[in-house]
Amino acid sequence: MKYTEEMILHSPSGYCMPFEEDKNKEVTLSKGYGEQKDAITGETSFNHGIDFNASHRPLAAVASGVVSSIGTDKEHGVYIVIRYGKYEVTYAHLANIFIRFGQKVKAGQTVAISGNDIHMEVAFDGEELNPIEFLTMLYGNIQALRKAGHEATHEFIQFDGEMKTRYDRDKEEIEELMIRFLPVYMEDLFRGAYTVPEYTERSLRNVFAVGAIKNYFFETMPSMANPLGIGSRALPLASKVQNLLIADFLNYLALRHNVYLSTMGEEVKKKLQSEAIASSGIIDPLEELEIDVQSFDIPRVVSVYPDRAGVRWWTKAWFNNREEGELSVEIDRNNAIRFIQDRIEKDEWLEEFFPKQMEIYHNAIEQTKEQLLNQLNY
């Protein structure tokens, strides 16, 4: 198709390329538009778009537009279609989606994350185009804006939805442990050989309850890659779930395999060992000393929850696995957000809102230590 004046793309928010190239890793075109011949079988097929070797990369809206389709099929996997005037641009083979049907987007806005590669298709007024020609026009628009002094109009708006956890510094080591132990962990969960601690289960229920109340689920079209349809608003909750699941996996390693992160200090290891003994029913070697070992490390669980309108918020705590828990304390919304986004440690939060209970907790630990020393010196 020959480009005409009618085909010039107009965009109030400027223009942006679909993705940024990694400075340390060149992005290559893996499959061009049109007829393709398989190097092994010799069979020919027609590629209605183009493919890039770019794994799990943020994808941006290229101009001002509207999401016209979201779905999944055998050929495209998870895909989205965004309409820019008479243009329709398809991103396929996606790992995640951050937009919903009918949503307006602007140039540079992150709309999805690619899967193992990026597949892109373009049509104008219903007629299929070679995406390379469209990208060439897009790049020309960006350069024209640059020369006109509108530098910011083409910049890629960075997606701030990276899920940060308290275990980020140990990410590589945890991933290696997951490669070794995750299948066994899942099997032990399935067989009932390992049970998720009650406080972890309760915390997860609380997180999902808050998500449901705040309408975080099904913000976007559900898919195999994103079955709950969560968007960027839900990322603080997603990070909290990530923290809970990683913590449970590490708890499992300590209990069942006596394996710990290399960065864990001796105090943390002792704490995990104590929790593991308390939750597993294993005979405690200190049991004969007639010491309340469980009080040496009292389980502490805390959560936040809103009213139905999401205006007023409260925090509630449970000490030593007591089912009824402590009386709820009303907090302001900023503190609730601070907790949900994991910007405060659990014990610091408890010291702030449950000071009397924490004083009892510290006294119990000191008392148990004293009892232990007395028994050992007897």
The confidence score (pLDDT) of residue 307 equals 74
Domain range summary for the chain, segments of one domain joined by +: 5-154, 168-376
**Residues of the chain by 3-state class (helix, strand, coil), percent to 5:** 40, 25, 35
d(CA 121, CA 69): 13
Q: Residue 82's closest CA among 108, 57, 56, 101?
A: 101
Q: What are phi and psi of 67, to 5 degrees?
A: -70, 115
User: How far is the CA of 77 from the CAs of 28, 55, 241, in angstroms?
Assistant: 21, 15, 26
Query: What CATH number labels 5-154?
Result: 2.70.70.10
Give the long-range contacts of residues 216-220, CB within 8 A, separation 24 or more.
Answer: 219/100, 220/70, 220/97, 220/98, 220/99, 220/100
The confidence score (pLDDT) of residue 83 equals 95
The confidence score (pLDDT) of residue 82 equals 95
Torsion of the alpha carbons at 238, 239, 240 and 245, rounded to the nearest 10: 90
The confidence score (pLDDT) of residue 119 equals 93
Strand 77-84 vs strand 300-306: parallel, antiparallel, or unpaired?
A: unpaired
DSSP class of residue 22 equals B
The confidence score (pLDDT) of residue 68 equals 92
Q: Residue 120's closest CA among 79, 73, 161, 74?
A: 79
The confidence score (pLDDT) of residue 291 equals 39
- Would you write out the chain's pLDDT as a tens digit for each of its 378 residues? 556 667 778 888 888 888 876 555 567 788 888 888 777 787 888 888 999 887 888 888 999 999 999 888 888 888 999 999 999 999 999 888 888 888 999 888 888 888 888 999 999 988 898 888 888 888 777 777 777 665 544 444 444 445 566 777 888 888 888 888 887 888 888 888 888 887 788 777 777 776 666 666 666 555 545 556 666 667 667 777 888 888 888 888 888 888 888 887 776 666 656 655 555 444 343 343 333 444 345 778 888 888 766 678 889 888 877 777 888 899 988 888 788 777 788 888 888 898 888 888 777 777 766 665 565 554
User: How far is the CA of 364 from the CAs of 105, 288, 358, 361, 372, in angstroms?
Assistant: 56, 19, 10, 5, 12
The confidence score (pLDDT) of residue 255 equals 83
> Residue 361 is encoded by which pair of tokens?
């907790």
CB 34 within 8 A of CB 104: no
Could you identify the residue written with the tokens 């016209």?
68
The confidence score (pLDDT) of residue 343 equals 77
Give the long-range contacts of residues 273-276, CB within 8 A, separation 24 or more.
Answer: 275/197, 275/251, 275/299, 276/251
> Residue 252 is encoded by which pair of tokens?
């499992």
Is the pTM above the cut of 0.85? no
Exposed/middle/buried for residue 305 (C-beta within 10 Å: 0-12, 13-18, 19+) = middle
pLDDT in tens, 121-177: 999 988 898 888 888 888 777 777 777 665 544 444 444 445 566 777 888 888 888
Could you identify the residue written with the tokens 């969960």?
189
